Chains A and B, each alone.
Chain A
Amino acid sequence: EVQLIQSGAEVKKPGASVKISCEVAGYTFSGDYMHWVRQAPGKGLEWMGLVDPENGETTYAEKFQGRVTMTADTSTDTAYMELINLRSEDTAVYYCAPGLELQNWGQGTLVTVSS
C-alpha cells in the first residue's frame, strides 16, 4: 500500500519561508516523479511543479519560479517543498502526489500566512 505522510500545519508571517516534507512508503521512491499541488481555501487545484528523486531535476510552474524549491532525499524516501517570500495568497493546503497520473496523494499540509 502506497503511503504519503506529510508534515504538520504551519503558520507563517508574510515574507517568511516554509518547508513541507512528504515521507513515502510502499513503492520505489526514486521510480516516480513527485508532484506538488496546492489548494487555496474554497478554490480549485493548482499544480506547482515536480522533482525527480532519482537525479534531483525539477520542473516548476512559471508562477512559482524563483520562489519554490523541490528536493528529494532518497536515503529517507522523503520529498520536500520549500516556498519563500510567503504572502497571504499562499495560504493553502499543499499536497504531494507521485507518478504520472497522481494516483495517490498525501493528506495535505495547511500553510497559513498571516501577520
Chain B
Amino acid sequence: DIQMTQSPSSLPASIGDRVSITCRASQGIITFLAWFQQKPGRAPKSLIYAASTLQSGVPSRFSGSGSGTDFTLTISSLQPEDLGTYYCQQYYTYPYTFGQGTKLEIK
C-alpha cells in the first residue's frame, strides 16, 4: 500500500497568515492526489484534485502543487472558515490511502 505522510499534524495560525501543508507519498503517484477539508461532525469536502485543480466553488486562496511524491496545499490568506482538519489522499492505485490529517487551528 502507498503510505501518505502529512506534516505538520497540527498547525496553529492566525487569520491572514499564509499556511502550507505538505504531503509525501511513499512511492510516485504522478498527480493522482486530492485534498479534503473536514469540519467537526461533517463529511469531508473536496478542495483539490489532480494535485492542483480546484473544485468548483472552492475559493482561489486555496492552491495545490506537486507531483511524484511531494505535494503541498497552500492557503494564501487564512480565513476563519478555513479552520478544520485537512487530508491528502492518493488515487493512483488501490487501496486508496489518506494522510493522517493536519488540524488547522487559531493561534
- Does any Cβ of A come within 8 Å of B100's Cβ? yes
B95 near A47 with CB under 8 A, answer: yes
Distance between Cα atoms of A44 and B84 in the complex (Å): 13
A100 near B98 with CB under 8 A, answer: no
Partner of A95, one of B43, B55, B101: B43
Interface of A is mostly: loop
A59 near B44 with CB under 8 A, answer: no
Distance between Cα atoms of A61 and B49 in the complex (Å): 22
Partner of B46, one of A62, A104, A106: A104
B87 near A44 with CB under 8 A, answer: yes
Distance between Cα atoms of A104 and B44 in the complex (Å): 9
Nearest A residue to B53, CB-CB: A101
Distance between Cα atoms of A49 and B96 in the complex (Å): 8
